[in-house]
Amino acid sequence: MKMRDSISKKQECKLLPNQRVVGKWHKNSYRIIKQLGYGATGTVYLAEFGNELVALKIASDSMSISSEVNVLRHFSKVQGPSLGPHFIDTDDFVTTQGVYPFYVMEYIQGESFLPFVRQRGAEWVGILIVQLLKDLEKLHQEGWVFGDLKPENLLVTKKPYQVRWIDVGGMTRVGRSIKEYTEFFDRGYWGLGSRKAETSYDLFSVAMLIINRSYPARFEKKGHDSLRTLLTKFREKTELKPYESIFRKGIKGEYSSGLVMRKELIQIIQTTSFTPQVEKQLKSPLRKQQKGLKKKKRKKKKLHIVGFMETLVVASFLLIIYILYLFGQTM
């Protein structure tokens, strides 16, 4: 059937460096530079449009790409900077093999999320998530849910360091069912909630971003008590300790909005020092520390007494010599 070959059986469209892609409808010309990556719905290339660098996503499937364009468009229109890449153009590329729909968006240059947070102290994952939660809040306010939230869909741009999302393929309207997900970040997989698009779905994935920092290879579910598995795994990594309450509430779906989660996270980052020495201190309970302090003080007191005695002895000794000297003088 004709319908079929426009959907699943068509070969993927491979573009080569320096190849020109000219749209059938808008006639814009893009020069391909290199491949950037590929996802469930198509391949993304770095391309040149005039003097500008752009990202061009080409697909064999016109359906899923149209949905993505709708989402990108929506947020290009409504929002200021930062809510994902800006939308530039959408068109069809006609080749001898068939017609390939594509779209063009802003090229976001940055470092991958996971390597970035792994190379730095544990405070960084918190700071980037604070940034991310601000954008997510805006998205949720607009009636959308990110859906497939994972490190691969995030980039950290430089000067200043700012997290941005690059793939809008999973974005779903609030109330619908989640279109795309990745098991590790999906609460449905862990048996900790539905796949309905709601704020708490995204916030679950946000919590999983934290634990992913210390388990880059991720892990699978075991048994039925996923909550326990996740909390146990989390506690095994001492560097994540300050985030435990955030993580627990996130995976249990206890945050009503990203704003609340963000506020708590800011509080934690402000009051915690993430450098290793302090981490050690945090590990021992406060009471023990105080006890230790008291002991030191007592020792000091003793030392004072010993010192006083010493001075006394020396003073009396000097006094005796002085008396003897006086006697000597008088004699």
Partner 1 sequence: MSKGTLRQILLLTDGCSNTGDDPIAISALAKEEGITVNVIGIVDQGHLNEQGISEIEAIADSGGGISQIVYAKQLSQTVQMVTRKAMTQTIHGVVNKEISQILGEEKELEDLEPEKRGQLMEVVDELGETMDLDIFILVDTSASMKNKLPMVQEALIDLSVSLRSRTGINNFALYSFPGKRKEVDKLIQWTPHFDSLSGAFKKMSTSGVTPTGPALQEAVRLFQKRMKKRGTDEDERFDLEETGM
Which residue in the list 91, 135, 148, 202 is annotated as catalytic?
148
Task: Summarize as ranges the residues that interact with partner 1 (CB under 8 A).
Answer: 1-4, 6-8, 25, 62-63, 66-67, 69-70, 73, 90-92, 99, 101, 175-179, 183, 188-189, 194-197
Determine if residue 287 is left, alpha or beta; phi over 0 gives left, psi from -120 to 50 gives alpha, anything else beta: alpha
Rank residues 62 and 82 by Cβ distance to partner 1 and give the closer one: 62
Rank residues 90 and 212 by Cβ distance to partner 1 and give the closer one: 90
Residues 6 or more apart whose CB falls under 8 angstroms from that of 175 comprise 196, 197, 198
Residues 6 or more apart whose CB falls under 8 angstroms from that of 62 comprise 6, 101
CB of 191 to partner 1, least distance (A): 8
Residue 205's alpha-carbon distances to 26, 61, 192, in angstroms, are: 38, 27, 12
DSSP H helical ranges for 97-237: 113-119, 123-141, 199-214, 226-235
- Does the active-site annotation cover 91? no
Rank residues 42 and 126 by Cβ distance to partner 1 and give the closer one: 42
Q: What whole-number distance in Å separates Cα of residue 20 and Cα of residue 35? A: 14
Going by C-alpha positions, the residue among 229, 17, 247 that lies closest to residue 125 is: 247
Rank residues 62 and 79 by Cβ distance to partner 1 and give the closer one: 62
CB of 71 to partner 1, least distance (A): 10
CB of 235 to partner 1, least distance (A): 27
CB of 231 to partner 1, least distance (A): 21
Residues with a catalytic annotation lie at: 148
